[in-house]
Amino acid sequence: MDLSFLLLQLLTGLAYASTLFLLSVGLSLIFGAMGIVNFAHGSFYMLGAYLLFAFTRGQAEGFWAGLFLVLAAGLVVGALVERLLIRPIYPRPEEYQILLTYALLLILEDLVRLAFGAGYRSFPLPPLFSSPLFLLGAPFPSYYLFLLALAGLSALGLWAFLYRTRLGTWVRAATQDREMLEALGVNVPLLYTAIFALGIALAALGGAALVPLQAATPGMAVDAVINAFIVVVIGGLGSVWGALLGAVLIGLLQAFGILLLPEMAMVFPFALMALVLLLRPWGLLGRPPAVRT
Amino acid sequence: MKAWRWILAFGLLAGLVLAQGQQPIKIGALFILSGNFAGYGKSGSQGAQLAVEEINARGGVLGRPLQLLVVDDQGNPEVGVREARRLVLQEKVDFLFGIDSSSVALAVAPLTDEYKIPLVVTHAATPTLTEQCRPYVFRTSNNARMDAWAAAALAATLPVKRWANIGPDYEFGRVSWQDFIARLRQLRPDVEVVSEQWPRFGSTDYASFITALMRARPEGVFSTLWAGDMVIFARQAKAFGFFNQVRYFVNPVGAALEVLAPLGKETPEGLLVSARYWFLYPNAERNRAFVEAYRKRFGEYPSYNAQEAYAGMQMLALAIQKARSTQAEAIRKAFEADGGLVYEAPEGRKRMRPEDHQVFESLVWGYTKHSPEYPFAILERMRIVPASDTVYPTQCKR
The predicted-structure confidence for B116-142, as pLDDT tens digits, reads as follows 999 999 999 999 999 999 999 999 999
A12–B contact, CB cutoff 8 A: yes
B217–A contact, CB cutoff 8 A: no
CB-based contact B38 A220, cutoff 8 Å: no
Residue in B41, B228, B240 closest to A140 by CB: B240
CA–CA gap between residue B139 and residue B142 (Å, rounded): 8
Residue in B33, B198, B205 closest to A19 by CB: B205
Reported as a single tens digit per residue, the pLDDT across B195-238 is: 999 998 888 889 889 999 998 999 999 999 998 899 999 999 98
Residue A247 has pLDDT above 60, yes or no: yes
Best mutation target, B208, B213, B230, B236, to test chain A (most A CBs within 10 A): B208
Confidence of residue A293 (pLDDT cuts 50, 70, 90): very low
Residue B61 has pLDDT above 60, yes or no: yes
* Mean pLDDT score across all residues of chain B: 93
CB atoms within 10 A of CB B79: 18
Residue B21 has pLDDT above 60, yes or no: no
Q: pTM value?
A: 0.86
CB-based contact B39 A259, cutoff 8 Å: no
Q: What average pLDDT does range B21-29 have in this prediction? A: 89
Q: How many CA atoms lie within 13 A of A115 on its CB side?
A: 14
Best mutation target, B72, B195, B235, to test chain A (most A CBs within 10 A): B235
B282 in helix, strand or coil? coil
Measured in angstroms, the CA of A222 and the nearest CA of chain B are apart by 9
Length reported for chain B? 398
Whole-complex ipTM: 0.80
Reported as a single tens digit per residue, the pLDDT across B79-109 is: 999 999 999 999 999 999 999 999 999 999 9
Residue B351 has pLDDT above 80, yes or no: yes
Strand partners, B70: B29
Q: What average pLDDT does range B29-49 have in this prediction? A: 92
Query: Is the peptide bond between B110 and the residue preceding it cis, with omega within 30 degrees of 0?
Result: no
Higher pLDDT, B3 or A86: A86
Residue B3 has pLDDT above 80, yes or no: no
CA angle at residue B31 from A221 to B337, to 5 degrees?
155
Length reported for chain A? 293
B103 in helix, strand or coil? helix
Measured in angstroms, the CA of A162 and the nearest CA of chain B are apart by 30
Measured in angstroms, the CA of A287 and the nearest CA of chain B are apart by 31
Kindly report which listed range (A229-243, B320-334, B339-353) carries the lowest average pLDDT score: A229-243
Per-residue pLDDT at B8:
58
Residue in A15, A215, A217 closest to B207 by CB: A15
Residue in B195, B239, B259 closest to A141 by CB: B239
A255–B contact, CB cutoff 8 A: yes
Contacts of A21 in chain B (CB under 8 A): none
CA–CA gap between residue A255 and residue A10 (Å, rounded): 7
Best mutation target, B171, B211, B267, to test chain A (most A CBs within 10 A): B211
Strand partners, B342: B351
Sign of the dihedral through C-alpha A36, A204, B167, B241: negative
Q: What average pLDDT does range B297-319 have in this prediction? A: 97
112-151 of B, contacting A, C-beta below 8 A: none
Closest to A3 measured CA to CA, from B217, B207, B215: B215
CB-based contact A13 B208, cutoff 8 Å: yes
A254–B contact, CB cutoff 8 A: yes
Reported as a single tens digit per residue, the pLDDT across A151-171 is: 999 999 999 999 999 988 988
Q: Report the chain A residue with the minimal C-alpha distance to residue B265.
A: A124
**How many A/B residue pairs have CB atoms within 8 Å?**
122
Residue B16 has pLDDT above 60, yes or no: no
CB-based contact A258 B204, cutoff 8 Å: no
Contacts of B209 in chain A (CB under 8 A): 258, 265
End-to-end Cα distance, chain B: 54
Q: In sequence order, what DSSP letters do the residues of chain A get, joined into one string?
A: --HHHHHHHHHHHHHHHHHHHHHHHHHHHHHHHH----TTHHHHHHHHHHHHHHHHTT-GGGHHHHHHHHHHHHHHHHHHHIIIIIGGGTTS-HHHHHHHHHHHHHHHHHHHHHHH-SS-B--PPPGGG-S-EEETTEEE-THHHHHHHHHHHHHHHHHHHHHHSHHHHHHHHHHH-HHHHHHTT--HHHHHHHHHHHHHHHHHHHHHHHTTTS-B-TTHHHHHHHHHHHHHHHH-TT-HHHHHHHHHHHHHHHHHHHHH-GGGGGGHHHHHHHHHHHH-TT-SSSPPPPPP-
Residue in B38, B198, B210 closest to A218 by CB: B38
Contacts of A143 in chain B (CB under 8 A): 239
Closest to A52 measured CA to CA, from A115, B34, A60: A60
Residue A13 has pLDDT above 80, yes or no: yes
Give percent of chain B with pLDDT exceeding 90: 86
Per-residue pLDDT at B78:
96
Per-residue pLDDT at B17:
53
Per-residue pLDDT at B171:
86
Contacts of B199 in chain A (CB under 8 A): 265-266
Measured in angstroms, the CA of A11 and the nearest CA of chain B are apart by 9
Contacts of A210 in chain B (CB under 8 A): 204
Residue in A132, A213, A266 closest to B241 by CB: A132
Measured in angstroms, the CA of B192 and the nearest CA of chain A are apart by 17
Confidence of residue B2 (pLDDT cuts 50, 70, 90): low
Q: Report the chain B residue with the minimal C-alpha distance to residue A251.
A: B208
B213–A contact, CB cutoff 8 A: no
Measured in angstroms, the CA of A211 and the nearest CA of chain B are apart by 9
The torsion region of residue B241 among left (phi > 0), alpha (psi -120 to 50) and beta comes to left
Give percent of chain B with pLDDT exceeding 70: 95
Residues with Cβ < 8 Å from A106, sequence gap 6 or more? none
A102–B contact, CB cutoff 8 A: no
CB-based contact A16 B207, cutoff 8 Å: yes
CB-based contact A217 B211, cutoff 8 Å: no
A111–B contact, CB cutoff 8 A: no
Closest to B240 measured CA to CA, from A16, A251, A259, A213: A213
